[in-house]
Chain A
Amino acid sequence: MTGAKMVIEALKREGVEVLFGYPGGAILDIYDELYKAPELKHVLVRHEQGATHAADGYARSTGKVGVVLVTSGPGATNTVTGIATAYMDSIPIVILTGQVPTRLIGNDAFQEVDITGITRPITKHNFLVKRIEDLPTIIKAAFYIAKTGRPGPVLVDIPKDIQQAKGEFNYPEEIKLRSYNPVYEPHIKQIERAYQLLEQAERPILLLGGGVISSNASEEAIKLAEKLKLPVVMTLMGLSAFPGDHDQSLGMLGMHGTYYANMAVANCDVLLAVGVRFDDRVTGKVDAFAPGAKIVHIDIDPSSIQKNVKVDVPIVADCKKALKRLLEFVKQGGKDKKYWEERFTDWWEQINIWKRRYPLVYKQEGDYIKPQFVIEKLWELTKGEAIISTEVGQNQMWTALFYKFKHPRSLITSGGLGTMGFGFPAAIGAQMGNPGKLVIDIAGDGSIQMNIQELATAVEQRLPIKIIILNNGFLGMVRQWQELFYGKRYSSVRFQVIPDFVKLAEAYGAVGMRITRPEEVEPALKKVLQTNSLVILDVHIAPEEGVFPMVPAGKATTEMILL
């Protein structure tokens, strides 16, 4: 069997249903085999960055491994931003790149680039296949590494002569790597210590991050929170792990967190942090982060623990398994719901005071459409039953604050890398993985232009994605920083030319609509949701609207700028 055929066979064995890619010289042999394998759906993108984000969106929304297939050189380098995006958010994708023939490697051959060298710091692992007999094991290892432990992107670089070489196809059923043994089961003594802290707590907080979603631990998190009546806060990546409309949810914490989430974390005495990595956008000034709290930190990656924040009870484990064990201790403890409710009554009273003092609000003024109003209406109309992707910037933060995510994996957003241009291609992947579901990309007029070419891909695949552009004519988040911290010197944040998004949609064979007045919002959204094809809704919003609350970079999270 040829190497190219082996790749296709391996993908089938891994249960791959769809791949996102773009052909070229050094990957022709694999594309030729793909031609003969109609059961593998291939989505031809318009730019390789789009393919990587689409595979990423597919992975985030389904929990399966996303697969990318591209050629060498520029095809490979175009995937770099997408790989880094997936790496920062721990998303399992496998990127297969073509490479020039082995004998030409190192010769500066046409379309040659050292892609394993380039992607070394942004992949969980990568491989250059040098011998045909290694190919099946390497692909097996790539999928295994991508989806186990703390998930992440894995790249496999396959030279053209290896694709053409013949060998025996022995695909291993299972693989064991002596140097890679992720720990899943928690240390039971540590779980006991965590439970004891909760038992002694007077002002506990449950903090949920992306790890809760990737380990499918929402159910356990909800159970624990409800049983102990714990206030729940979430990181951006943790949103959707706990229902946003649940009365124990305080929403997001951090730089653009809610007032009450940040106040609660700052004043808690026990912080149970699950699947988080204490990013600077979450902690603000580290010394002032939960200063009086004993911190329990559950994460599968030992290097996340004690990295940014000093932890009292470290627990290296799969979040789901750790929470399950913790629930067993809760059960053994024998205290009923009422006990916990009474125990934390004062704490909840304090939180409710904060909630009343500074609720999450915006001012509806003048004839402008407020972006928050659009998100709120969208939530009302969809009742949380949608997969929402976002771009990066104000559109992302308004969505995070005002859309109350109900189901895990219903928010697809670039948290760690903050990649503009991510949301739309990611929505393509999410829609491919969830054919019957409503998929919406909340965009800004800046971000959407970063991967606008994928409109052709989406229309070609007949994907009924809804794109809602919160169009303020500015690079809004940068403008907001310039307004607040750079003396209103608006340097390069205003586009002189913005395309007519309605005509643009039509040019690509999609539906385009535009609204400019508040009273148009609800009917337009209804129309969008009823349209069974790709729609762009261009919403002209208040141009200088900011995202609040806001904690200036490096400040304590209690030092919020409020509206």
Chain B
Amino acid sequence: MQEKRYTLSVLVENTPGALARIAGLFSGRGFNIDSLCVAETLDPTLSHLTLVTHGDDQILEQILKQLRRLIDVYKVVNVTEEGDHVEREMALIKVKAEKENRDEIFRICEIFRCKIVDVSPKTYVVEVTGDRDKLEAVIELLKPMGIKEIVRTGVIAIRREKKSA
């Protein structure tokens, strides 16, 4: 069966063990976590968790069912399958900024609407926000300059509302 990437949106009770339970479920059953993003919601008793995973249909079905089986899990949505949604990720990229490269870095930043958020004599820190493809593109373009370090947030996602009433 074909492997696919899925972005899952999970609402969980904001309790100390909840995240450990979800992480443990994935490691214990041999599922993959490609990225994981957790934060509070408007309701402080619930946390929102965006999880990117991959697997075939059968594995995905098990992941969804096993997540829903956890007592602390309030809601699970497979945003990839549910249709139209927005995905965003942010990366901070520390890139070597030698004199001869600085213009090129600026150009790349302009094209991709990135920000330079820290400057040192020999490096820039570039902040880039977008979907996965955009981040990968920026990283590829900056690589020849010499990337010293990358920190990524992991994906967050939200469903689009229907455009017509």
Contacts and interface: CB of A to CB of B under 8 A. Distances in A.
Interface in A87-143: 116-117, 120-121, 124-126, 128
B71 A179 contact: yes
A499 to B, nearest CB: 38
Contacts of B58: 306
Given A303-B65, A303-B66, A306-B61, A177 B17 contact: no
B20 interface: yes
B69 A128 contact: no
Given A303-B62, A303-B66, A306-B61, A120 B17 contact: yes
A121 B71 contact: no
B68 A302 contact: yes
A125 B20 CA distance: 12
A179 B13 contact: yes
A180 B13 CA distance: 11
Nearest to A306: B61
Nearest to A178: B74
A116 B65 contact: no
B69 A301 contact: yes
A117 B69 contact: no
Nearest to A150: B69
Q: How many A residues are at the interface, by size bracket?
A: 10 to 19
Contacts of A128: 16-17
B82 to A, nearest CB: 18
Contacts of B71: 124-125, 145, 177, 179-180
A154 B68 CA distance: 17
Contacts of A121: 24-25, 28
A223 interface: no
Contact of A179 (B25, B66, B72): B72
A143 to B, nearest CB: 13
A438 to B, nearest CB: 38
Nearest to A310: B58
Given A120-B17, A120-B24, A302 B74 contact: no
A96 to B, nearest CB: 17
Which DSSP category, helix, strand, loop or mixed, fits chain B's interface? helix
B21 interface: yes
Interface in A271-304: 301-303
B157 interface: no
Nearest to A304: B65
Contacts of A302: 65, 68-69
Nearest to B45: A178
Nearest to A302: B65
A307 interface: yes
Contacts of A124: 71
Interface string A524-535: 000000000000
Interface in B97-150: none
B69 A179 contact: no
B8 interface: no
A121 B30 CA distance: 13
Contact of B17 (A126, A178, A301, A303): A126
B62 A120 contact: no
A117 B20 contact: yes
Contacts of B16: 128
Interface in A302-332: 302-303, 306-307
Given A125-B71, A179-B13, A179-B72, A120 B21 contact: yes
Interface in B67-109: 68-69, 71-74
Nearest to A124: B71
Interface string A47-59: 0000000000000
A128 B20 CA distance: 14
Nearest to A177: B71
B8 to A, nearest CB: 15
Interface string A393-412: 00000000000000000000
A507 to B, nearest CB: 43
Nearest to B27: A121
A128 B17 CA distance: 9
Contact of B73 (A120, A179, A303): A179
Contacts of A178: 74
A155 B118 CA distance: 49
A67 B149 CA distance: 53
A419 to B, nearest CB: 19
A306 B61 CA distance: 8
A303 B72 contact: no
A116 B74 CA distance: 20
A306 B25 CA distance: 18
B74 A303 contact: no
A19 B17 CA distance: 27
Interface of B: 12-13, 16-17, 20-21, 24-25, 28, 58, 61-62, 65-66, 68-69, 71-74
13 contacts: A116-B17, A117-B20, A120-B20, A125-B71, A177-B71, A178-B74, A179-B71, A301-B69, A302-B65, A303-B62, A303-B68, A303-B69, A306-B61
Given A302-B68, A302-B69, A306-B61, 12 more contacts: A116-B17, A120-B17, A120-B24, A125-B71, A125-B72, A128-B17, A179-B71, A179-B73, A301-B69, A303-B62, A303-B66, A303-B69
